[in-house]
Chains A and B, each alone.
Chain A
């Protein structure tokens, strides 16, 4: 992982509000070879957190990576899930307390454990509300952003490019073409 969890608790912090609340940030650098690296203004990214400390954010990020492990998917995508969970928890003190208790239940050093140990730990809390809420949020957020789309090859919106009619909807070559009687002609053939 190339993510650093930094405590923004020094007066030198760029963000005074973060300093006042004593909360954390997640930062990282998108890998040079990443498809988005050429498109983004900067490869460096940072997620400012509202309620989570940097240490808790690192534990949560490790949990999300254990739930949905894609080794070469950039941490920037996982950080979006952390950000969404953090934002939800900022909505009420009860939600914040539930999240803090959930992360505490992962135990100290969770983020540094080997994957097999993290899996075993998560199995012990799998039936609980905390695990399930993080799992659902992971499914909702992790695959809904351009970083993930580039990673998995999903091309997304196509209307602005004229659809896929002349851009590969039928470019599969490893099986035979379908006979005309069971399909139909290209519209401008």
Chain B
């Protein structure tokens, strides 16, 4: 692997190696560009992934402190971990559960379709759906998504049999083993899913797509990638004309370095991406880089997320099998008769025994609490995953009370759920309970909002530079050679798990950058 010079004038710097950054690294090196890929975490491998849930959590998770405020549940239920994502080479694609639904046409026109919802900052995406769909098709081929392009669906697990029977009894029609970026057959040089149920700990067969062992090694094989793991970017610098000139970072020894760049792509997961832009304030960009619109960090979306568990008289053993391989799609529509705008998925889900009481169960103790855990063998599970409303006040700012190891303010998250989110949660968890009751659950349990695993919206795309941070290619309105390459650019959340959309937009952005460079415009 090459090591490019710190003052090389011809490099693309990418910050973050997950779904967006890892994909960009492959796509740009493939086009002949030289790339330095920064990753704050360490590099693991199929062999090094721990199979102890607690150890794996420590191995992969972003554990730097964060502060939070607002009326959302994690303030109480998860005070030290408001968001659960990764800090390792491959980013959150190492622990993701690989569900890859598409956004729906109504969802990318949320403002036009849902109307003006007070207290929400809805907007339409600046991309036409036919254009987005074209890139979804490219991304689905890249990821080997099941039930698309002739890839067989995942076989049905015990947990899915319960969901399926209950959902059909309620009259739901679009119920299947989900669109999964998991090999149902060996393909693309990787093995098939052996139904371990350890998706979140890092997939030891590599059946689950992750940039760690797909995009990044391909970029390395090009000879054009300089991957710098355990290197943390603290600032993006610019020149007098307002063009990005490079990044300041701490190397693996903690020593400050300065890397020159021709183009900078930021893909740090929406919380850290916003933090980096805010940390890069300067005389010219007084409120953060590319933040003339004051939209950096705002409109933070994290999905309406709640687990629903059913406890039955007979065993389910729901820990066996691919975690999210099942979905009810029928509620992913905009139908205001339900009392809220937007829609949700009911996705199959399970938690390993150590994690269940930590994030899956409501607050409690004593006999009532312990009798739920006693039902672990006979438990089925699902996750309500729905569109949350963007709000200007739900935002990432720099903490005024906590600093990281380098003395920099950590991210502060403020969230007040919109009434629409609460109405959707009530509806979704109610339907989840009904699904399990329809097949004989003797008890159902609903979790509070879990730590956020889907981060979106903190540097959103807009046609109007006053309304967002980037244009439709994720290119900053104010800094022509600065790109945002992760879920930060999602104008609204929709109900789709964000990774497929992140990859689709990264593929599209890479083509745009390639064209601009070839045309001498970048």
A residues near B (Cβ < 8 Å) are 66-70, 119, 122, 135, 139-140, 143-144, 148-149, 152-160, 162-165, 167-172, 174-178, 181-187
Contacts and interface: CB of A to CB of B under 8 A. Distances in A.
B447 interface: no
B204 A159 contact: yes
A77 B196 CA distance: 25
Nearest to A155: B319
B165 interface: yes
Interface of B: 51-54, 146-147, 152-158, 160-162, 164-165, 175-177, 184-185, 192-198, 204-205, 314-317, 319-321, 352-354, 356-358, 365-367, 369-370, 373-374, 376-377, 439
19 contacts: A67-B366, A67-B369, A70-B370, A70-B373, A143-B357, A149-B353, A153-B315, A153-B376, A159-B51, A159-B196, A159-B204, A164-B196, A168-B158, A177-B156, A178-B161, A182-B175, A183-B154, A184-B154, A185-B155
B195 A119 contact: no
B182 to A, nearest CB: 11
Contacts of B377: 152-153
Contacts, number: 153
A168 B192 CA distance: 17
B353 A148 contact: yes
Contact of B376 (A154, A159, A167, A183): A154
Contact of B320 (A149, A164, A176): A164
Contacts of A156: 51, 352-353
B162 A175 contact: yes
A157 B52 contact: yes
A144 B367 CA distance: 20
B374 A70 contact: yes
Contacts of B197: 158, 164, 169
Contact of B161 (A159, A170, A187): A170
Interface centre among B147, B158, B198, B204 (most CB of A within 10 A): B158
B195 A163 contact: yes
Contact of B185 (A139, A160, A169, A187): A187
B365 A68 contact: yes
B273 to A, nearest CB: 30
A144 B56 CA distance: 12
Given A153-B317, A154-B319, A187-B192, A177 B177 contact: no
Nearest to A176: B165
Contacts of A163: 193-196, 205
A169 B162 contact: no
Contacts of A119: 366
A172 B373 CA distance: 20
Nearest to A187: B192
Contact of B54 (A67, A144, A178): A144
A122 B366 CA distance: 10
Nearest to B180: A184
A143 B353 contact: yes
Contacts of B352: 154, 156
Contacts of B320: 155, 158, 164, 167-169
A104 B92 CA distance: 45
B54 A175 contact: no
Given A70-B370, A184-B177, A157 B198 contact: yes
A149 B175 CA distance: 32
Given A68-B369, A156-B352, A158-B320, 14 more contacts: A139-B357, A139-B358, A156-B353, A157-B198, A164-B194, A165-B194, A167-B320, A175-B161, A175-B439, A178-B177, A182-B153, A183-B154, A184-B155, A187-B184
